[in-house]
């Protein structure tokens, strides 16, 4: 059975988005392979240059040699993760931060370059959030000094807090997080809102002393003021302003009550 768009004359059919999406996936694949392989090659090359590998191989080795290999592989993994993060930062530097605004995605209209910058940043964000083995320590490297200061300034999000688990910050350059902010496991923060025929880029701001419940969703344009709390699983509507010391929850999130002032 034909769909409604297939029944139209070819000239009147909307543009097929599969080509653009597959192009994005190709860029995503290429970037991931480049970062992974380059970090691997540099880590191995530096270890060989520094004579950091044990003299005997690990197969059939005695306990002393096995411990040497354990220490060497631990140090190699730390070096690999550090190089992986540095490569993410170097690739992020030439990509401009997109400007806030509403940009059309209608068929037949040229794609605004702000959406191109946003898509390129999304590639790097995916490489950070979905880091492959052995880059499983990327979260720790990004949130420990001195790299946390560099990552926050170049990559984002700008934050004075340190998360225990990596929140899903899908537009890190468009998100600002204050001091003493607790973000629950599985929470998603974005700096955009996807509509049917447009994408709106808006900065998301979370002030100090805020608690964001696990698996909640905070889209672009939301401003959470000091001392507020968002319940677990809540979905905040775009461009919502949550007042100081307010508790919001639900789908969509609504104000339920006021909280005592932050001590």
Query: Measuring CA to CA, how many Å separate 258 from each of 145, 204, 211, 253?
Result: 36, 22, 14, 14
Question: ω before 146 within 30° of 0 (cis)?
Answer: yes
Q: 11 pLDDT exceeds 70?
A: no
pLDDT mean over 141-158 = 95
Q: 143 pLDDT exceeds 50?
A: yes
What is the sign of the dihedral through the CA atoms of 211, 216, 219 and 222?
negative
Please state, in angstroms and rounded to a whole number, the distance separating the CA atoms of residues 127 and 212: 24
Confidence at residue 144, expressed as pLDDT on a 0 to 100 scale: 95
Average pLDDT of the chain is 92
Please state, in angstroms and rounded to a whole number, the distance separating the CA atoms of residues 162 and 75: 24
pLDDT mean over 54-83 = 93
Confidence at residue 216, expressed as pLDDT on a 0 to 100 scale: 97
Confidence at residue 14, expressed as pLDDT on a 0 to 100 scale: 56
Confidence at residue 4, expressed as pLDDT on a 0 to 100 scale: 55
pLDDT mean over 49-53 = 94
Confidence at residue 2, expressed as pLDDT on a 0 to 100 scale: 47
Q: 53 pLDDT exceeds 50?
A: yes
Confidence at residue 7, expressed as pLDDT on a 0 to 100 scale: 55
Residue by residue, DSSP assigns 207-239 as -TT-EE-TT-EE-TT-EE-TT-EE-TT-BPPTT
What does the domain layout of the chain look like in residue ranges? 19-155, 157-263
> pTM score, two decimals?
0.90
In the structure encoding, which two tokens stand for residue 18, read together? 């599969």
Confidence at residue 171, expressed as pLDDT on a 0 to 100 scale: 96
Instruction: From 190, 185, 258, select the one nearest 228 (Cα to Cα).
Output: 258
Query: Measuring CA to CA, how many Å separate 84 from each of 33, 91, 112, 167, 230?
Result: 11, 11, 30, 19, 34
Name 74's Cβ contacts closer than 8 Å, sequence gap at least 6: none
Q: 60 pLDDT exceeds 50?
A: yes
Please state, in angstroms and rounded to a whole number, the distance separating the CA atoms of residues 173 and 14: 32
Q: Percent of the chain at pLDDT above 90?
A: 83
Q: 23 pLDDT exceeds 80?
A: yes
Query: Measuring CA to CA, how many Å separate 4 from each of 14, 107, 109, 198?
Result: 11, 16, 22, 22
Confidence at residue 180, expressed as pLDDT on a 0 to 100 scale: 96
DSSP 165: S
Please state, in angstroms and rounded to a whole number, the distance separating the CA atoms of residues 125 and 154: 12
Confidence at residue 166, expressed as pLDDT on a 0 to 100 scale: 86
Please state, in angstroms and rounded to a whole number, the distance separating the CA atoms of residues 118 and 99: 9
| pLDDT, tens digit (0-9, with 9 covering 90-100), for 185-224 | 999 999 999 998 899 999 999 999 999 999 999 999 999 9
Work out the pLDDT band at 58, boundaries 50, 70, 90.
Answer: confident
Q: Percent of the chain at pLDDT above 70?
A: 94
Domain covering 157-263, topology: UDP N-Acetylglucosamine Acyltransferase; domain 1 (2.160.10)
Give the SS3 label for residue 54.
coil
| pLDDT, tens digit (0-9, with 9 covering 90-100), for 37-50 | 999 999 999 999 99
Instruction: From 176, 75, 147, 174, select the one nearest 138 (Cα to Cα).
Output: 147
């Amino acid at each position: 059975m034909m769909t409604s768009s297939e029944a139209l004359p070819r000239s009147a059919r909307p543009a097929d988005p599969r080509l653009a999406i597959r192009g994005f996936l190709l860029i995503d694949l290429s970037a991931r392979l480049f970062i992974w392989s380059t970090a691997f090659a540099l880590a191995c090359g530096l270890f060989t240059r520094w004579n950091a590998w044990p003299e005997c191989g690990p197969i059939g080795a005695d306990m002393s040699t096995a411990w040497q290999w354990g220490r060497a592989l631990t140090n190699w993994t730390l070096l690999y993760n550090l190089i992986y993060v540095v490569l993410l930062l170097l690739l992020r530097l030439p990509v401009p931060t997109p400007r806030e605004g509403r940009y059309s995605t209608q068929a037949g209209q040229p794609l605004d370059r702000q959406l191109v910058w946003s898509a390129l940043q999304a590639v790097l964000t995916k490489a950070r959030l979905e880091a492959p083995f052995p880059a499983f320590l990327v979260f720790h490297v990004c949130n420990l000094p001195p790299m946390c200061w560099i990552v926050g300034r170049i990559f984002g999000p700008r934050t004075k807090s340190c998360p225990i688990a990596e929140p899903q910050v899908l537009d890190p350059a468009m998100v600002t997080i204050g001091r003493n902010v607790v973000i629950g496991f599985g929470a998603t923060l974005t700096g955009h809102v996807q509509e049917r025929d447009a994408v709106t880029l808006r900065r998301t701001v979370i002030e100090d002393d805020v608690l964001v419940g696990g698996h909640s969703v905070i889209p672009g344009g939301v401003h959470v003021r000091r001392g507020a709390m968002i319940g677990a699983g809540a979905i905040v509507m775009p461009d919502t302003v949550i007042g100081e010391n307010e508790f919001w929850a639900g789908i969509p999130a609504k104000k339920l009550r006021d909280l005592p002032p932050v001590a």
